[in-house]
Every structure is written in structure tokens, then in C-alpha cells.
Amino acid sequence: MAARTILFTGFPGFIGARLIPLLLEQDPDATVVALVEPRMVPKARSVAQELGLDDRLQIQSGDITAPRLGLDEATYRRLASETVAVHHLAAIYDLAVPLSIAERVNVEGTQNVVDFCRACDRLERHNYVSTAYVAGQRRGTVKEADLAAGQAFKNHYESTKFAAEVLVRASMDDVPTTIYRPGIVVGDSKTGVTQKFDGPYYLLRTIQAAIERHTPLIQPGAMTAPFNVVPVDFVIDAIVTGASHPEFSGETLHLVDPDPITAAELYRLLCVAYAGREAKLRLPWKLVDQSLRLSLVRHLLGGTPRESLIYLNHQVRYDTARATALLAGRGVRCPPTADYVGPMVAFFREHQDDPAFAPLK
């Protein structure tokens, strides 16, 4: 039997380490080759050993930002002949990333992966993980089929993920592809387990700081915008499901809560779960925005960066018509936020002082 290889980028990231075992369970004849940049190879091998997948998970040193994925010609050709699926998750997710780095990894790296997909004679699917935030500063309702609408962007992460999705979209006539656009990913909906405390976890840092300093709980702005958080297990279930069914090919799916609560309601739930009470003070957003340059204000907000706070007041809703239609029929649904706030807060409380969970700088 000819080898069935799944080329995977983004290991040993939090999603990748949880996704790969499910992909191998789904395809018993497959082997995952995880393309890992050289400096991450020791960690990748350690995580692979912990997963206990033996030879079914192979670590291949490479570089998505280099031509031919940084591989020698023989390895590149062998992988292209064996690969039946590609999962491209590797990206720079830092909201404050410099443009040059974001372009190299998110855009050039994606083009190199697309080129590899085109070289694969037996490719069944390219599973590309984009982000809902390719919509940039658009407001109102964004459809899953939407991409270029003349939008501006809040940061280089958004603009380069948009440019990368443009490249993937351009390849879809000759490369069978599914695009997944998650919102902000938080921990497991049942256990709360996550890899680092960024994004909405900064709100918990704000609450933690207030409790420790015996100061009032402060809400940073009106926070009336829908806040598009999704638990990691929903994202993983959606990708595994999409990768295994042919009707998902050619689709772009928003992996967000179809009925999102507002950022203010999320903050209220977090305050009650962590502190047992709601915030009584609300600072006007303009004052918060202007004052974040002051160390005192950043201190009161638990060190929350301005790049993250912007998302609390951005009025946009991501339509999930196609994702809901395709996934719900397979039993995959995004749980309501209120259902997993408890596990999310419990895990945070247990690890809040562990430097291993601090956001990467």
C-alpha cells in the first residue's frame, strides 16, 4: 500500500498537539509528518514522545519561510509523492508583531505551503487555518464568503493573515481546500486547559489585580461589541470533521459562537466566577485608550495591552451559516460561553502565578 502522509505545520502548538492524535485516529493508515523549524525540534520531539504515537508522528526539520519548505530536494519530492493531506496552522499570532516578521511567516510561509500542495499528485485536502479577523476593521455582519472589502486592519497580524488567505483562495481552483476561520481561542470547554493566558485572559488578569490590591473591579469601556471567543475543543472537532468529509472541500467556515455574548457580559461572567461580584466602575473607552501609555493604568488593568483591548469594543458579527449547516449535521456545535466560563476560570486560578502560562513576548 502506498504511504499516506499528512503534512502538518504548527506542531507542537497547543492546537496541533491535540489535533494530530485525532487525525491519526480518523485515518488509521496515515502518518503525520510535522514540519518544525530547527530551534523547535527538541521540544517537538519531547511532545511527540509524550503523545505516544510512536512512528506515526515523525518530526521533520524544515522552514515554511524558505523555498521548498527548507527541505533538500529528495525529501521534498518524497513528501510530495506521499502526502494526501496538508494541515497548515503555523503562523505568527502576536497582535503586536512587526510587519516584516508577519509577512515572512504568515504570507511567504503560506505561499510556500500552497506551492507544496500543488506539487502533491495525491492531495485530497489542504486544511488551512485562517482567522475571523481577516475582516479587519469591518463592522456589521461579515459573511463566510467575504474576504476583500476594502477593509483596513487593526494590526499586522490581521493584515498578513488576510494576505495569506488571498493566496489560499487563489489556489482553490486547482487545490482542494477548506479554510477555517476561528475567533479568539480559549481553553477546553470541559477542563479549561490552555497553553497561555492572553486574549480574554487579560480580563482575568485585570480582575486578579483588583482583588490582590483591594481595589474596585473596573470595566474598561462600554464593551457592547460581540466578543467572539471559542473553546479549543470546538475548533479541533470542527477541523477533524471538516478534514474527513468531502462536502467541506471548497468551503470557508467561521469557527465562532453563532450567538456571541457581548464583551461586557463575558467580563461580568468572569468577575462573578473569579471574584464573586460584578464590576461597579466603568471607565470610558476613550479615556482607557488614551491612558494606556501610563504605567499606572496598565497596572490597574492587569498589564492588558492596548492591542487586545481594542477587540472589546469592535462592533462586528461573523455569520456562521455554512459552518452551522455543515457541522451541526455532524454533531459539532460551539457551546455557549456561559457553559465553559467556570472551567476557564478554575484553570486560570490554578495556574495564574505560573510563568509558563504568561503570553509569549
C-alpha cell at 223: 464593551
Q: How far apart are CA 242 and CA 87, in angstroms?
A: 11
DSSP string, 85-124: EEEE------TT--HHHHIIIIIIHHHHHHHHHHH-TT--
C-alpha cell at 77: 519530492
DSSP class of residue 53 equals -
pLDDT at 94: 85
Domain ranges of the chain: 4-185+229-255, 188-226+260-315+337-350
Q: How far apart are CA 50 and CA 76, in angstroms?
A: 27
DSSP class of residue 261 equals P
What CATH number does domain 4-185+229-255 carry, 3.40.50.1820, 3.80.10.10, 3.90.1300.10, 3.40.50.720? 3.40.50.720
pLDDT at 361: 45
C-alpha cell at 337: 460561553
Q: How far apart are CA 207 and CA 337, in angstroms?
A: 18
* pTM of structure: 0.94
- Per-position pLDDT tens, the chain of length 361: 678 999 999 999 999 999 999 999 999 999 999 999 999 999 999 999 999 998 999 999 999 999 999 999 999 999 999 999 999 999 998 888 999 999 999 999 999 999 999 999 999 999 999 999 999 999 999 999 999 999 999 999 999 999 999 999 999 999 999 999 999 999 999 999 999 998 899 899 989 988 998 988 988 888 899 998 999 999 999 999 999 999 999 999 999 999 999 999 999 999 999 999 999 888 776 766 666 665 555 555 656 677 777 888 889 999 999 999 999 999 999 999 999 999 999 999 999 999 888 765 4
C-alpha cell at 325: 449547516
Q: Please report where in the chains the cell 524558505 appears, as a residue.
A: 66
Long-range contacts of 61-64 (CB under 8 A, 24+ apart): 61/36, 61/37, 62/35, 62/36, 62/37, 63/37, 63/38, 64/9, 64/35, 64/37, 64/90, 64/105, 64/109, 64/110, 64/112, 64/113
